[in-house]
C-alpha cells in the first residue's frame, strides 16, 4: 500500500468504478457484435431501459432515505392495468389522472406504515408486493386489458412517440433523472433525505421531521412508478396482470449498481441512471450475441457482486476483510 500509484488506482476505482465498468461493457459487446454500437441499437437499449430507469429514480430516493421499496413491481402491474383499462372507458386524460392518484395512494400507504408507524420497510413493502398483485387480479378478474384504438390515441406519445426526434421514453427518463438529481443534490429537501438515511437520530435532533420525510420518499417512488406505467401501457397498448413481476429486483439491481448504499445516506441519481443502462446493455448485448435473455440474470449477478466488492475493497484498501 506504500506505492502511491496503487492508491490512486484504488481511488479511481472507488470513485468511478461504475463508469469504468460501463465503458468495459460497451467495448466488450462492440467487439462481439457489429450491430451493438449503431445509433438504432443505442436508442433501442435506452428506450427499453427507460421503464426500469424511471422507477429506479424514485427507489433511489427511498433507499438514500434509509428504506427499501420492493412493492414497485406489482405497483407497476396495477398502474399499467388501471391506465390501460380506463383509457377506453373514460378517455386518456382522466385515466392518467385517476391512475396517478391511485398509485400515489398506494405510495402513501407504504409511506404511512414505514414513515409514521415506523414498521420495517422490507416487511411492509414485501407485503405490499403481493397485496397489490392481489388487488390487480381482483380488479380485472384475471383478464388482460387492451386499448382498442391504438392508431389514433394521443396516449401513444408516452411509449411510442418522439419529441424533437428523440423517443419520448428516453426524454422522460433522462429529464426526470436530471430533475431529481438537482432536487437531491441542491435543495434542502434532498439534504434532509441524505441526513435521515445516514443518521436518523442525529437528523431528528437537528430538527428534521423524519416521518414526513420518509412518507414523501414513498410518494416519490410511487409517482415514478406511475410514470413508468404510462410508458409501459402506451408502449404495449395493453397489459397483463403480472406485467411488472420481478421488476422490483431489476430496479433494485440498477440502484445498487449505481453505488447507492442499501444502508441509506449515500447515493446518486445520475449513477443510478448508469447502473440501469448497464443492465440494459447487458441484456441487449447478450441477445445480440445470441444468448437467451435469461443469461443476463447470471451476468447481472456477477456484475453486482463485483461492483459491491470493488466498492468495499476500495474503501478499506484491501480485497478481503482484515478480520478472519
Contact residues: another protein, CB under 8 A: 33, 35, 38, 40-41, 44, 48, 137, 141-144, 146, 148, 160, 232, 235-238, 240-243, 283-284, 287-288, 290, 292-294
**Could you tell me the CA-to-CA distances from 131 to 87, 124, 142 in Å, in that order?**
24, 10, 15
Taking the complex as a whole, how short is the minimal distance between the CB of residue 225 and another protein, in angstroms? 15
Considering beta carbons, is residue 180 or 243 the nearer one to another protein? 243
Taking the complex as a whole, how short is the minimal distance between the CB of residue 135 and another protein, in angstroms? 12
Cα separation, 258 vs 304, whole angstroms: 10
* Residue 321: all three cell numbers together: 476483510
Taking the complex as a whole, how short is the minimal distance between the CB of residue 43 and another protein, in angstroms? 9
Closest CA to 123 of 68, 176, 172, 162: 68
Closest CA to 242 of 153, 108, 140, 124: 140
Considering beta carbons, is residue 3 or 34 the nearer one to another protein? 34
Cα separation, 67 vs 64, whole angstroms: 7
Cα separation, 56 vs 173, whole angstroms: 10
CB 77 within 8 A of CB 85: no
Considering beta carbons, is residue 77 or 121 the nearer one to another protein? 77
Considering beta carbons, is residue 4 or 292 the nearer one to another protein? 292
Considering beta carbons, is residue 220 or 237 the nearer one to another protein? 237
Considering beta carbons, is residue 236 or 313 the nearer one to another protein? 236
Taking the complex as a whole, how short is the minimal distance between the CB of residue 239 and another protein, in angstroms? 8
In eight-state DSSP terms, residue 289 is: T
**Could you tell me the CA-to-CA distances from 284 to 39, 48, 92, 287 in Å, in that order?**
14, 9, 32, 5
Taking the complex as a whole, how short is the minimal distance between the CB of residue 143 and another protein, in angstroms? 4
Q: How many CB atoms lie within 10 A of CB 33?
A: 18
Taking the complex as a whole, how short is the minimal distance between the CB of residue 39 and another protein, in angstroms? 10
Considering beta carbons, is residue 233 or 258 the nearer one to another protein? 233
Considering beta carbons, is residue 243 or 255 the nearer one to another protein? 243
Taking the complex as a whole, how short is the minimal distance between the CB of residue 35 and another protein, in angstroms? 5
Q: How many CB atoms lie within 10 A of CB 282?
A: 22
Taking the complex as a whole, how short is the minimal distance between the CB of residue 175 and another protein, in angstroms? 21
Helices (H), 115-268: 121-140, 157-160, 168-186, 188-198, 200-205, 210-236, 247-257
Amino acid at each position: 500500500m506504500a506505492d502511491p500509484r496503487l492508491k490512486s488506482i484504488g481511488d479511481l476505482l472507488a470513485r468511478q468504478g461504475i463508469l469504468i465498468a460501463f465503458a468495459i461493457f460497451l467495448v466488450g459487446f462492440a467487439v462481439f457484435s457489429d450491430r451493438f454500437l449503431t445509433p438504432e441499437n443505442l436508442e433501442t437499449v435506452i428506450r427499453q431501459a427507460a421503464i426500469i430507469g424511471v422507477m429506479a429514480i424514485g427507489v433511489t430516493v427511498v433507499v438514500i432515505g434509509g428504506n427499501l421499496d420492493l412493492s414497485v413491481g406489482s405497483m407497476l402491474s396495477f398502474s399499467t392495468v388501471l391506465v390501460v383499462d380506463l383509457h377506453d372507458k373514460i378517455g386518456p386524460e382522466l385515466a392518467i389522472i385517476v391512475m396517478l392518484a391511485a398509485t400515489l395512494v398506494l405510495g402513501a400507504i407504504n409511506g404511512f406504515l414505514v414513515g409514521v408507524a415506523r414498521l420495517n420497510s422490507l416487511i411492509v413493502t414485501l407485503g405490499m408486493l403481493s397485496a397489490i398483485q392481489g388487488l390487480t387480479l381482483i380488479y380485472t378478474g384475471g383478464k388482460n386489458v387492451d386499448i382498442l384504438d391504438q392508431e389514433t390515441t394521443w396516449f401513444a406519445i408516452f411509449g411510442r412517440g418522439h419529441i424533437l426526434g428523440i423517443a419520448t421514453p428516453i426524454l422522460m427518463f433522462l429529464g426526470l433523472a436530471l430533475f431529481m438529481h438537482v432536487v437531491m443534490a441542491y435543495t434542502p429537501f434532498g439534504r434532509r433525505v441524505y441526513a435521515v438515511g445516514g443518521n436518523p437520530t442525529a437528523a431528528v435532533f437537528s430538527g428534521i421531521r423524519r416521518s414526513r420525510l420518509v412518507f414523501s420518499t414513498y410518494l416519490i417512488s410511487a409517482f415514478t412508478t406511475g410514470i413508468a406505467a404510462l410508458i409501459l401501457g402506451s408502449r404495449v397498448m395493453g397489459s397483463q396482470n403480472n406485467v411488472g413481476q420481478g421488476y422490483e429486483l431489476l430496479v433494485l439491481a440498477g440502484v445498487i449498481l449505481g453505488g447507492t448504499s442499501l444502508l441509506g445516506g449515500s447515493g446518486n441519481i445520475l449513477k443510478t441512471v448508469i447502473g440501469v443502462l448497464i443492465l440494459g446493455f447487458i441484456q441487449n448485448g447478450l441477445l445480440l450475441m445470441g444468448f437467451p435473455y435469461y443469461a443476463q440474470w447470471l451476468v447481472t449477478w456477477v456484475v453486482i457482486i463485483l461492483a459491491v466488492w470493488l466498492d468495499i475493497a476500495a474503501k478499506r484498501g484491501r480485497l478481503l476483510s482484515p478480520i478472519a
